[in-house]
Every structure is written in C-alpha cells, then in structure tokens.
Structure 1
C-alpha cells in the first residue's frame, strides 16, 4: 500500500518579514545621483549636494516595513475581556505608502475591525500592522487583504473587516492627473463575510451612523 503524503499550505508571505537583498548605501547614493542627473539638474549645486545621503535616510524610514514582522506585533493577546464579544474597531488610522508601479506616495486612512473570540489584541498593535504593510511598496488592494489576513490568521477572531480610503499620487500627479480622487477597498473574513448585517454595522460605525 502506498504511503499517504500529506501536503500543507505554504505560510503566507504576509506572516513573516520579506527576504531582502539590499545593495550598499554607496550603491544607493550612486543610483540617486543618476536619477538626479536624469531630471536634468546639476548634482553638484549646493541644494543637491547632500540629496543622495538624505534619500538613503528617508528610504530607510519610509520602507522599514521590510524589516518588521506583522505577525509578531499581534503575538500578545489579552483574555480578560469580561465576556466582551462585539466589534472592536480602530478607525481613521492614517498611513502613507508608495505605489509599487511608480514609487510615488499613497496617502490615506485605514479602518480595521474584528469580532473577538475570547481574546483581544492591544489597539496600538493594529495601527502598527497597518504601518508595517504601508511601509512597503504596495497596491491598495493587496495591502487591504494583507492586513485582514494576518489578523485573521494570528489572533483567529470570528471575523475581520478592513476598509482603506486613499489618494494615489500616481493618479493625481501624472497620467490622468485627477487630484482629490479617492480609492476605497474593503476585505471581510469570517462573520463579516458571511453576514451582510455585520458589514453594514462596520460601515455604519465608520460613517457615524446607527442603522
């Protein structure tokens, strides 16, 4: 009789830190110099003399999400919740990210909710998870799904709801050039996905309605 070989799904990428292969700071500064020359400016003038160094420092800060693990942020939970099992919503979490297609900013806010199943997570941890994913090259659709996915997989609530509202500078500053246009994305898991009334409650809490 042939042995039965069990296969297990791969751990989703969003649960761990991405594997990176960074060049040296000297290489990055040289690349920035090339881009500055490409704009047509003089890289030797006073205002641009230290720009490559500043860009390296700024990129290290804006893309520090590659050095952090979102699952670790959610690792500590609390079970003393006095039986609370209704929606926990953290709304209007401001974030800035960068479009993976043009590397220009995405600026917006995230609304994240979950239905506890006997335990809760620190509210600041949810905001940290948003920042970790935002501080990587992104699409808004992927970021929405990643936030919901890691919360669902790590703390295993009865459901997760995520909505993101953002303005994309790749749409405002170039191409069609429509500043002020906002993109909305949402993802639902568990009870939020299965029960439309929970989705309506989630949206109502975001918008400040009681219906």
Structure 2
C-alpha cells in the first residue's frame, strides 16, 4: 500500500539538500548513476517520516471490551525510522505488551 506523504514534508527542499550534499562530497548529481537520486532520497525520507506529525491519540482512541484482565501482547510489528543523530534509516520489529484498563477495555 503506498504511503501518503503529508504536506509538512517538503520533498522538493529535501531533494535540493541531497543534491547539495552530493556536490559537497565531490559527486556530480547529473551523472548517469545519480540522475534522480535526490528525488528518490526525498521520497524515501517522506515515506519513512510520514507518521512524524500524526497524533498518537487518534490511533489509540478506538477501544473494545477485552473480556479478560490478562496481559495483551502484540509481537513483530515492523518499524521503520531514522536515527536522529545521523539520519540513517533503520528497521526492526517492536513488541508491545499491556494490561487492559480498569474498565476491561483495550486499544484495537
């Protein structure tokens, strides 16, 4: 499913910055192997950072009756992000566990 890139992410500005980085390291962004690389990198950043401005409350507002008071565990949730210190992409899996609220409801 294609990722919708939010308006807050300025793909053209990112592409210009990537082009500048390529030039700063002595590369020619117009050579065959790098043609459209700034645009591809900008799109990748847009996709990886698409959830940056989302409100978590919107995703946590849907709840339903659990029917039990035991721990709920969701494993192997794929994650994609950027290291905030180096802006290097990384991926992995998250595992989340929680106990239903006092009202017996869980997020779903």
TM-score relative to the length of structure 1: 0.43
Cα offset, 1:102, TM superposition: 0.6
CA contact (8 A) 2:62 2:107 kept: yes
Q: What count of residue pairs does the alignment treat as equivalent?
A: 99
RMSD value, Cα:
1.8
Q: Is residue 75 from structure 1 mapped to residue 57 from structure 2 by the alignment?
A: no
Higher relative contact order (CA 8 A, sep 6+): 2
Residue 88 (structure 1) aligns with: 72
Uncovered stretches (5+) of structure 1, i.e. residues with no partner: 1-21, 123-211
Change (3 A) 1:89 1:23: closer
Residue 158 (structure 1) aligns with: none
Structure 1 segments (4+ residues) deviating >4 Å: none
Change (3 A) 1:23 1:99: closer
Change (3 A) 1:119 1:24: closer
Spell out, residue by residue over 1:156-189, the C-alpha distance to the aligned partner (whole angstroms, 9 max, x if none). xxxxxxxxxxxxxxxxxxxxxxxxxxxxxxxxxx
Uncovered stretches (5+) of structure 2, i.e. residues with no partner: 1-7
- Which structure has the greater CA radius of gyration? 1
